Structure 1
Amino acid sequence: MKLNFLYPNMQKDIDLVEKELKRALTGAAAETTSDAALHLLEAGGKRIRPMFVCLSARLSPDADFEAVKNAGVAIELIHMASIVHDDVVDDADLRRGRETIKSKWGNHIAMYTGDFLFAKSLEYMTEIKDVAAHKMLSHVTVELSTGEIEQLKDKYNFDQSVRNYLRRIKRKTALLIAASCGLGGVVSGQSEADYKKLYRFGYYVGMAFQITDDVLDFVGTEKELGKPAGEDLSQGNVTLPVFFAMEDPFLKKRISQVTEDTQAEEIAVLVEEIKKSGAKKAEDVATAYLKKAVATLDSLPQVPELKPLKQIVRVLDKRNY
């Protein structure tokens, strides 16, 4: 999903963030740490979070792009750290179509690489002087960690509530995107009222983004996803399409029998069933969140620079990979 076409300066902004990310991860005292971190960086990624930092900051004509760049790098480093740790917990061998750090270097190197990435994000945050930015990012990082623990606790728990799921994806995904938008507003000197609206916009987009990811885990191909389809289910992560599919008591009984020992053939059969019965309903929930995101943007000053954020919502509503 490429979004750089939405704003003329977007590629320039993201290229500067990408260059700084590479500089940040090069030359660590432990060479293996740099090698592992750069391995993940070079695997690519959407860079959604720094993109939102930049687009939100561009709403202000007085934005200091050095501060904006540092905020974007800090946000992306936190995201990278979280997925390195995720891959250890999930015992994942592929990420973005490439071997994971855990798979290539082992669990110990992966965990310390994740810690290194978190620490580097703190370095970049020290360059941002506004206390509101630090409060925002520290809150989100704590919530992210809580979400990871909740996901571990709820693995293979097919009796958990939808509320549990929504709270979990809020913590694991939505709040970091919310912080991306809010930080862009803070570091560019926008009013508290406006950067809080940007934060709220990011939250709605983040919820829709994760729900769509969870749908794609059932309707996408391994080539599109960079990982096997149905991997969430096989790892015991109960997502919104599964909740909707389990409204059928017979299907719930079959899904509830999934364990870490369930064969790939059975997972494949269940993926097809969930695709038919739960995917569309989950997509509708994602669309409802995007409508709330648009309503939030409509409450902001209607400057021309707001247009790319509105276009992103339309693109996300049609996202299929």
Structure 2
Amino acid sequence: MTNFDLFNQVTDELAIVEERLISSIKSDLPLLDQASTHLVKAGGKRLRPAFALLSAKMFTESLDEVIPLAVALELIHMATLVHDDVIDNSSLRRGRETVKSGWGNRVSIYAGNYVFARSLSLVSLYQRSDILEVLAEASMRICEGEINQMMSCYDVNQGLKDYLRRIERKTALLISVSCQLGAMLLNVEEYKTRALKNYGYYLGMAFQITDDILDFVADEEILGKPVGSDIKQGVITLPAIYAIKFDPRGDQLRNWLASPEECANRSEDIIQIVNDSEGIDYAYQVSCRYLEKARQELRFLPDVPVKESFNNIALFISNREF
């Protein structure tokens, strides 16, 4: 199943979003224009705009009003990716060179700031302080999550709660907000808006856990980035946390993961130990529990065709390869 199949309820609207992603960040300054539009042209899953559109479609057929919000959500996500690639010194994303690789750190930082500012400009058109407040709070917490991740690199003493708190801010929060705002924009009943917010949160948690699993086991060409990139950067994810605690070679793994040099030079050995442990299976079980919680939230929502799309998305995440 592809993104097209999952989001077929909003295919036309997503095509409009794709067009507006480029037009909304056009700049008269060629250097900024090239750097800012580079990531858009690289493509992507467009999860955040899709969730905003699908959430709104539960309650209305006309989504014209939601499209600027959908564009803004993807621009916020893109801005964080541009900055992440600078921090992580990443040369590839989605199988293409990063903005950092093509234009350097300084241009990347300004391009990310520019894209983020354009997202706020789009949202301001609604003249809804409640929507701006939700996005502002989410943006602050996302920054906190990135700082937490940076500070936790090579920290072999972190546990499950530390990891879950980190990925909540890294991924789950913006997906949750996307689902929430799609309903908020239409002034939907509070309990339905809350159900969509919770669905997005649980789904986002599962999505990031699955992403962390794929960093150990995926096909590099399908994934679109080097396998083991988290390990090389000292980012210790759930499969490794489990292996440190329960695998017979946990002490050896702990020593390697605590060392930047060993993470860089022994990444294949580290990946092998984690894959041989039950860490991958454990992480997958945690992901599935979050997906089940996400599906449970759907019972509060109207029985319309979009509801089945939300259920299929959860099933897709449990089996994704990219």
Q: TM-score range by the shorter chain?
A: over 0.9
Corresponding residue number in structure 2 for 1:174: 172
**CA gap 1:191/1:129 in 2 versus in 1, 3 angstroms:** farther
Corresponding residue number in structure 2 for 1:58: 57
Higher deviation after alignment, 240-249 or 213-222: 240-249
**Equivalent residue letter for 1:39:** H
CA drift of 1:263 comes to 6.6
Corresponding residue number in structure 2 for 1:250: 249
8 Å contact kept, 1:52–1:180? yes
**Equivalent residue letter for 1:253:** Q
8 Å contact kept, 1:67–1:127? no
Superposition map of 1:222-241 within 5 A: 222-241=220-239
Query: Runs of 4 or more off by more than 6 Å in structure 1?
Result: none
2:102 equivalent to 1:101: no
Aligned equivalents of 1:260, 1:55: Cα separation in 2: 43
Aligned equivalents of 2:122, 2:255: Cα separation in 1: 44
Q: TM-score, normalised by structure 1?
A: 0.95
Corresponding residue number in structure 2 for 1:112: 110
CA drift of 1:232 comes to 0.2
**CA gap 1:112/1:7 in 2 versus in 1, 3 angstroms:** closer
Superposition map of 1:100-179 within 5 A: 100-179=98-177
Aligned equivalents of 2:152, 2:264: Cα separation in 1: 21
8 Å contact kept, 2:234–2:263? no
Higher deviation after alignment, 118-127 or 5-14: 5-14
Aligned equivalents of 1:9, 1:57: Cα separation in 2: 11
**Equivalent residue letter for 2:51:** F
**CA gap 1:158/1:316 in 2 versus in 1, 3 angstroms:** same
8 Å contact kept, 2:158–2:241? no
8 Å contact kept, 1:125–1:134? yes
Aligned equivalents of 1:243, 1:68: Cα separation in 2: 40
Aligned equivalents of 2:131, 2:61: Cα separation in 1: 17
Aligned equivalents of 1:234, 1:70: Cα separation in 2: 38
Unpaired segments ≥5 residues, structure 2: none
Q: RMSD between aligned alpha carbons?
A: 1.6
Corresponding residue number in structure 2 for 1:16: 16
Aligned equivalents of 2:81, 2:151: Cα separation in 1: 18
8 Å contact kept, 2:244–2:253? no
CA drift of 1:264 comes to 5.2
Aligned equivalents of 1:74, 1:269: Cα separation in 2: 41
Aligned equivalents of 1:183, 1:92: Cα separation in 2: 31
**Equivalent residue letter for 1:59:** M
Higher deviation after alignment, 125-134 or 135-144: 125-134
Aligned equivalents of 2:251, 2:241: Cα separation in 1: 9
CA drift of 1:131 comes to 2.9
Corresponding residue number in structure 2 for 1:210: 208
8 Å contact kept, 2:58–2:302? no
Alignment partner of 2:260: what SS? Answer: coil
Higher deviation after alignment, 182-191 or 52-61: 182-191
8 Å contact kept, 2:205–2:287? yes
Aligned equivalents of 2:263, 2:51: Cα separation in 1: 40
8 Å contact kept, 1:39–1:101? yes
**Equivalent residue letter for 2:50:** M
**Equivalent residue letter for 2:52:** V
Corresponding residue number in structure 1 for 2:44: 45
Corresponding residue number in structure 2 for 1:288: 289
2:303 equivalent to 1:274: no
User: Aligned residues: percent identity?
Assistant: 39
Corresponding residue number in structure 2 for 1:313: 314
8 Å contact kept, 2:291–2:314? yes
**Equivalent residue letter for 1:173:** T
CA drift of 1:195 comes to 1.0
8 Å contact kept, 1:221–1:228? no
Alignment partner of 1:246: what SS? Answer: helix
Aligned equivalents of 1:268, 1:281: Cα separation in 2: 20
Corresponding residue number in structure 1 for 2:192: 194
Q: How many residues align?
A: 319
Corresponding residue number in structure 1 for 2:34: 35
